Structure 1
Amino acid sequence: MTTHAAVLGWPISHSRSPLIHGTWIAEHGLDATYTAIAVDPDGASLWFETFAEHGLVGANVTIPHKETALSACDHVADHAARLGAVNTLWLEEGKLHGTSTDGEGFMANLADQAPDWAKHAKAGTALVLGAGGAARAIVDALLMAGVDRVILLNRSVDRAEALASHFQRHFGSSRIVPGPLSRFADHAGEAGLLINTTALGMEGQPPLDVPLQSLAGGATVADIVYTPLQTPLLLAAKEREHPIVDGLGMLLHQAVPGFERWFGVRPKVTDDLRQSVLADIQEKSIS
C-alpha cells in the first residue's frame, strides 16, 4: 500500500522538499510519494484539524502555517511548544503529532561541516544575528545542546529583547543576552561561533555588514542563507581562515527526522543530494 507524505504551505511551488524526499524514496526503493500541497491560509485551520482525512501519514509544514499546524496537534514536542511552531507532522494511533526539526537540522549541519566547532576555546558562547523564527529555533537548539551563553543581536533591539525574555523564562537570565546589531564589535571577541539567521546576504538583499576582524580567531561562522551558497559573510570569513558552514545543509538535515518517522528508514545527506538541490536552485534562478 503506497504511503503518502507532503509539504504544506502557501505558496509552495518553490519548495525543494519534493526533490529531497523524492531522491530518498528512490534511493530506498520505497512504495511512497512526497508531493507539494498548497493550503490556502483562509482554510488552513480546517485543513489541519481534518489532517487525518487527507490520506497522508505525515507532512512538512512551511510558511505561513507553522503556528496553525501546531494549534491542530493533539501532541506537541516540548521544544516545539517552546518555539510556538511545528514543521513536521505525523499520525500516530489517529492522533496528530507535531515537532520542529529546524534546530536539529542546524546542529546536524554544524556537526557535519564544522565537526571541531565545539573545541574552540570560546565555544561556550555563540553570537546569533537576527531575531526571527529561524533564530528562535537555533537559539533553542544551542541552549539545549549545552552552549553556556547566547548573545542575540538584531537591528531592532526590541525584537531581540522580546526573544531573549522568552528564552530566559525557560533557561535562566544569564544564558541569553540581547543587544543591537550595532554592538557586534563589542561582543564578537567573546564567541567561538557566529550564526547569521537574517536574510542579509541573500540574493536580492544587501550584504551583512559586520566587522569580522573583531571576531575571535578560529571561530566558526555559519549562515542559514543558501542562495548564494557562499554569502558575502562566508566569503569574508573564509578569507580570514575561519571555518564556515553554509545554509544548504540545514535545509537537508532538517528533512531527515520526518522521512524516518513516515517511512521507517533514516536517509543520509550526501554530496550527490547537495549537488542535485544546488542544480535545481541554479536552474530556477536562471529561468
Structure 2
Amino acid sequence: MQSQELERVARQIRRRDLQAVFEAGAGHIGGEMSAIDIMTALYFRVLRIYPDQPRHPERDRFVLSKGHTACALYVTLAKRGFFPEEELSTFLQPGSRLNGHPNCNKVPGVETNTGPLGHGLPVAVGMAKAAKLSGAGYHTYVMTGDGEMQEGSNWEAIMAAAQFALNNLTLIIDHNRFQQGAALADTNDIAPLRPKLEAFGWDVSEIDGNRMSEIVPALEKRSERPHCIVAHTNKGHGISFMQDRVDWHHKVPNREQYEIALAELSESN
C-alpha cells in the first residue's frame, strides 16, 4: 500500500478502535490513537506476515510492549485477517480472548504477552538474538511508550542489542509526551531520546509518527546497527478534544463525545 491508502486504513482502524472502547466502557484510547498510524504501516506495508499461518517461522515479529493499547493491536490484526472482525465486539467481555493486555496463547498474531512495562523490548532483543544464532531471516520490531522508557530494563536491553550488533531489530518509541496521570516532562523527563540511544551505539531516526510519508521509510530502513525510531506523535491523534490531553490516557467518551469523534474520523476528512 502507498501512503494515501495506508492513511485510509488507519482512519478505519481508529474508528473501530473508538467503537470498541466506547462499547466496552474501558480502554486506553489516547495512546492507541497515537500508535495506530505506525501499526497500520507495519501490518499493511512493512511486515512479512502470514495471517493464515500466524506462527510461520519466516514471519517478521512485532512486539507491542505498551500492551495497555491492546485494542489498537486487535483491530489491526482483525482487519489484516488474523481473526474475524466480528470478534472485536467481544473486547473486554467475560470469556473473551481479547483482554486488556495481549495474550499470545489466545490471540493469533500476538507474539508475546505484554502489559507490565519494560518487558517487551527485552523479549524483542531475545527474538532478534535468536534469529542471529539460528540464521533466520526475520526482522523484529518492538513499540514502547515514551513513559515506558523510564524503566531500567529497557536500557539493559538497549546495551545488549548494541553489544550483539542486532541489525535485525527496530525499536519504535511512541513519543506522545504523556503517560498515565501526567506529562512526561513532569515525571521523569528522559527527552531528548535520540542522543541517549546514539550514546548506547544505536542508529536513530526521528520522525513525525503520525505521517505515513515519514513512517514507512523509517520502518523499512536497514542499518549495520540496531535501529531506533523516535516517533513524535500526538496522544489522542485525530480527535480534537482528546489530542494532547493527559486525561485521555485511560478514559471513555460519552455518547456525545463518541459521535463527535466518529465524525472527525470519517473517511471524508
TM-score, shorter chain, exceeding 0.5: no
Task: Work out which of the two has the higher radius of gyration on C-alpha atoms and give 1 or 2.
Answer: 1
TM-score, normalisation: structure 2: 0.39
If asked which structure has higher relative contact order (CA below 8 Å, sep 6+), I would say 2
Q: Which has the higher strand share?
A: 1
TM-score, normalisation: structure 1: 0.38
